Amino acid sequence: MEVRSRGIRKSIVSEPHYKDNTSILTGEHFWQGDIAIAEGAIAAGSRFFAGYPITPASEIAERMSLRLPPIGGVYIQMEDELASMAAILGGSWSGVKSMTATSGPGVSLMLENFGLGIMTETPCVIVNVQRGSPSTGLPTFFGQADMMQARWGTHGDYEVIALAPDSPQECFDLTIKAFNLSEKYRLPVFILADGLVGHMTEKVVVPEAEEIEVFDRRKTQKPPGQYLPYEAEDDLVPQMANFGEGYRLHTTGLTHDERGYPDMTIEAQDKLIRRLVNKIRHNADDIIMVEEKDLEGAEVVVVSYGVTSRVVPPAVERAKGEGIKVGQFRLLTVWPFPDKRIAQIAEKVKAWVVPEINLGQIVREVERAVGRVSKVIPVSHAGGDVHDPDDIYTVIKEAIQ
């Protein structure tokens, strides 16, 4: 094998060919959700992927290993998920949009450095193609039971952003969105897909490159010496400088001050943790995406997300055929949770029905947002399959009684 004496490629950073439009596959495709996620990442400008094989997410790594090297990116298969997550944080600090993809068992390991990403405000994207769980669970089947893992999985107090696609098209679109949110709010963003959406093949339309909205890094304009790496802007997010740009940054997972230096005081902890949480809470309206249907005059509202949203319409149609007024509310953003919007709707409806492929996770959030205003009924499923629409229909009927 011929080996060059110097690395083949120069810095991705100094040579911004990641904006090269030819890497975006504009047109109509038949893609699996997993492939659409990889292509969404490339369209968003991601050029570094570190991962570890796991069913049902491996196709994302496979696609990235094929696509990244010829377009100037780097794919690396790490020794485990702990390393994968650490590596994408490093890639991001070098100025390259970075991603990893896994399933629940891998997320369990990644959560260690996910916390480091939250604390150091590192933009990147983590894909969880959920399977039946806990533990090794149902590797080749799917589930939606990692919703709370994404929310509270790493230790400590924080807010997260998590998006839940329900189709390969949305896998593409929401992956771009996830990168945009991660850069805008400077944190690792979760994509909570599942094994069925990840493996289903549907039409995916990739727009022209100029039609794709990409949010690039919030780089500081201040010169070294005047720049404080953790001094927040009005929206509570600090501007960023990458490694190698002369800023000589220090960053730590310890509680730190605006200089990025460790500050082991109660005051520093209060200031930092409140800002990390509030940068998401105060900007929730900008982050949250939901889809509403037939809420006007609805007696019952079905809340769903991810693949479960695909089995709700037949149940709703059947109930409507019997004269029941049913609305639909779909979460594209699972975290932060749309409390405010649900509370507004709650005053006008009798009941909420929440089907999900777990034994009751998001239903608790709906209950919390609704309060005692209307009743909330779960439709649970332990995993491995979607709900029978008739089961959802039955609960809708019960709900109006």
Partner 1 sequence: MNQMPEHPLERCLRMDRMPHIWCSGCGIGTAVACFLKALDETGIDPDKVVVVSGIGCTGRVAGYVKFDSFHTTHGRAIPFATGVKLANPDLTVIVFSGDGDLFAIGGNHFIHAARRNVDIKVFCINNFIYGMTGGQAAPTTPLGARTSTSPYGCFEPPFNLPYLAESCGAVYVARWTPLHIRRLTHAMAEAISKRGFSFIEIVSPCPTVYSRYNRLGDGLAMIKYYRENSRIENWANTKDVPLSMNKEIVVGKFVDIDKPTFLDYQGAQIEQNKE
- Residue 238's DSSP bridge partners are 232
User: Per rule CB under 8 A, is residue 223 in the interface with partner 1?
Assistant: no
User: Per rule CB under 8 A, is residue 21 in the interface with partner 1?
Assistant: no
User: Looking at beta carbons only, is 71 or 138 nearer to partner 1?
Assistant: 71
User: Using an 8 Å Cβ cutoff, are 157 and 280 in contact?
Assistant: no
User: Per rule CB under 8 A, is residue 153 in the interface with partner 1?
Assistant: no
- Residue 74's DSSP bridge partners are 48
Q: How far is the CB of 187 from partner 1 (least distance, A)?
A: 16
User: Per rule CB under 8 A, is residue 268 in the interface with partner 1?
Assistant: no
User: Per rule CB under 8 A, is residue 231 in the interface with partner 1?
Assistant: no
3-state SS string for 293-319: ECCCCCCEEEEEEHHHHHCHHHHHHHH
Question: How many CA atoms, within 13 angstroms, populate the side-chain half-sphere of residue 366?
Answer: 26
Question: How many CA atoms, within 13 angstroms, populate the side-chain half-sphere of residue 148?
Answer: 13
User: Per rule CB under 8 A, is residue 265 in the interface with partner 1?
Assistant: no
User: Per rule CB under 8 A, is residue 392 in the interface with partner 1?
Assistant: no
Question: In this chain, which of 44, 87, 287, 357 binds partner 1, going by CB under 8 A?
Answer: 87
Q: For the chain, give the number of residues.
A: 401
Q: 201-206 and 27-32 as β-strands: parallel, antiparallel, unpaired?
A: antiparallel
Nearest 5 degrees, angle CA 96-CA 98-CA 101? Answer: 170
User: Per rule CB under 8 A, is residue 383 in the interface with partner 1?
Assistant: no
- CA terminus-to-terminus distance, the chain: 74
3-state secondary structure of 124: strand
Q: How far is the CB of 52 from partner 1 (least distance, A)?
A: 11
Closest CA to 331 of 232, 192, 125, 198: 192
Tokens linked to 144:
């939606």
Q: How far is the CB of 57 from partner 1 (least distance, A)?
A: 19
Instruction: Select from 79-87, 155-163, 212-220, 321-329 the region that touches partner 1 (CB under 8 A).
Output: 79-87
Residues 373 and 53: their CA atoms lie apart, in Å, by 46
Q: How far is the CB of 94 from partner 1 (least distance, A)?
A: 4
User: Looking at beta carbons only, is 88 or 366 nearer to partner 1?
Assistant: 88
User: Looking at beta carbons only, is 259 or 375 nearer to partner 1?
Assistant: 259
User: Looking at beta carbons only, is 245 or 292 nearer to partner 1?
Assistant: 245
Q: How far is the CB of 47 from partner 1 (least distance, A)?
A: 8
Q: How far is the CB of 229 from partner 1 (least distance, A)?
A: 10
Q: How far is the CB of 193 from partner 1 (least distance, A)?
A: 23
Query: Which residues, 235 to 264, sit near partner 1 by CB under 8 A?
Result: 242-254, 261-262
Binding-site size, partner 1 (CB under 8 A): 59
Query: Which residues, 90 to 119, sit near partner 1 by CB under 8 A?
Result: 90-96, 98, 112-113, 115-116
User: Using an 8 Å Cβ cutoff, are 87 and 50 in contact?
Assistant: yes
Q: How far is the CB of 154 from partner 1 (least distance, A)?
A: 10
Q: How far is the CB of 273 from partner 1 (least distance, A)?
A: 18
User: Per rule CB under 8 A, is residue 272 in the interface with partner 1?
Assistant: no
Q: Is 383 left (phi over 0), alpha (psi -120 to 50) or beta?
A: left
Q: Which residues of 5-44 are buried (b: 16+ CB within 10 A; e: fewer)?
A: eeeeeeebeeeeebeeeebbebeebebbbbbbbbbbbbbb
User: Per rule CB under 8 A, is residue 222 in the interface with partner 1?
Assistant: no
Residues 304 and 362: their CA atoms lie apart, in Å, by 9
- Residue 188's DSSP bridge partners are 124
3-state secondary structure of 140: coil
User: Per rule CB under 8 A, is residue 152 in the interface with partner 1?
Assistant: no
Q: How far is the CB of 7 from partner 1 (least distance, A)?
A: 4
Tell me which residues touch partner 1 (CB under 8 A): 1-14, 47-48, 50, 69-70, 74, 76, 78-80, 82-84, 86-96, 98, 112-113, 115-116, 120, 242-254, 261-262
